[in-house]
Amino acid sequence: MVRTATVTIRWWTCPARPLSNGHSLAGPSINAIIWVRQGKERLALANISEAMMIQATIPSSLALFATPWLFDTPLIVAGVLTAIAIVYLWSVFRRGNVDARWLLPIGLLHGVFAAFVAWHFVR
């Protein structure tokens, strides 16, 4: 058991040691730098995207399992405002009119939700 831990520690401290699937143990940002220097920009972008996706979904899924689900008014309002934001953003991106003045209403929806939550829990 101790011998396995020693081998594992040496393996993890080895700088940019490539694995069979093209990744290395140096982390996605170092991999991206290495691959960009080798002219493999698409591989670097895919690696960063994969890391961002995993870092966004794993903690969120763990938080969802640890949270008590109460289907109450703030949850319904959040769902409705999210649906409105999705439809609005879809139409804006579909038209190709993406700039700050068209994205401002989405920020205002965040403000509306924050005001609603404050009002809901204060009353």
pLDDT of residue 25: 52
Measure the CA–CA gap between 42 and 48, rounded to whole angstroms.
10
25-62 confidence digits (pLDDT tens): 556 678 788 888 888 888 888 888 888 788 778 888 88
pLDDT at 27: 65
Encode pLDDT of 63-113 as tens digits: 888 888 778 899 899 999 999 999 999 998 899 877 888 888 888 999 999
pTM above 0.85, yes or no: no
pLDDT of the residue at 111: 93
Alpha-carbon distance 31 to 21, whole Å?
A: 12
Question: How far apart, in whole angstroms, are the C-alpha atoms of residue 123 and residue 117?
Answer: 10
Tell me the C-alpha distance between 11 and 8, whole Å.
5
Q: What is the pLDDT of residue 77?
A: 93
